[in-house]
Amino acid sequence: MKAQRVPRRLGQTGVALIEVLVALIILAFGILGVVGLQASMTRAQTSSTFRAEAAFLAQRLIGDMWADRANLAGYDTSACEAACEDYLRLVAARLPRGESTVTVNTATGAVTIEIRWTPPGEDTNRFTTATAITNS
C-alpha cells in the first residue's frame, strides 16, 4: 500500500512567525516608552533638586543676615564683602553655573535674593525671594 500525501495549505505558512514579529515590535515600542519616561522623570527630579537647593541657599543667607544685622549692607552684591563672597562661592559650588544677586535697602531693611543656574542642555532657571530684616 502506498502512503497518501496530505495536501499542504499554502496560505498558512509563516503566520506564526509574523505574529511573533508583531509582538516583538509592540514590546520594543513599550520598552522605548518606559525608557523615555525614566529619562523624563530623572530630568524632573534633577530640576526639583536644584530648586530646593536654591531655596535652601537663599534661606541660609537670610538667616546669616538676621544674625549679622549690623553688617547688613555688606551682603549686597554691589558692595560685596567677605560674607557675601562666601555666599557667592557656595552658590557657584552647589548649582550648575550658579550665580546670585543680593540687593539690600539699608533704609527699609528690604532684601531681595535672586539665584540663577543653568543645567547642561537646559535654559537658565531663577529663584527669587524677598524679605525685610529690621532691627526691631
Structure confidence at residue 90 (pLDDT): 94
Structure confidence at residue 16 (pLDDT): 83
Residue 1 CB burial class (10 angstroms; 0-12, 13-18, ≥19): exposed
Structure confidence at residue 78 (pLDDT): 87
Q: What are the cell numbers at 115? A: 539665584
Q: What is the pLDDT of residues 77-115, one digit of tens each?
A: 888 888 888 999 999 999 999 999 999 998 898 999 999
Q: Look at residue 34 and tell me whether its pLDDT is greater than 80.
A: yes
| 6 pLDDT tier (thresholds 50, 70, 90) | low
**How many other C-beta atoms are found inside a 10 Å radius of the C-beta of residue 52?**
11
Structure confidence at residue 27 (pLDDT): 95
The DSSP secondary-structure symbol of 7 reads P
Give me the percent of the chain exceeding a pLDDT of 70. Answer: 91
CB 54 within 8 A of CB 117: yes
pTM of the model: 0.72
| 1 pLDDT tier (thresholds 50, 70, 90) | low
CA dist., res. 11 & res. 105, Å (int): 86
Q: Look at residue 135 and tell me whether its pLDDT is greater than 90.
A: no
| Residues listed for the chain | 136
Average pLDDT of the chain, as a whole number: 88
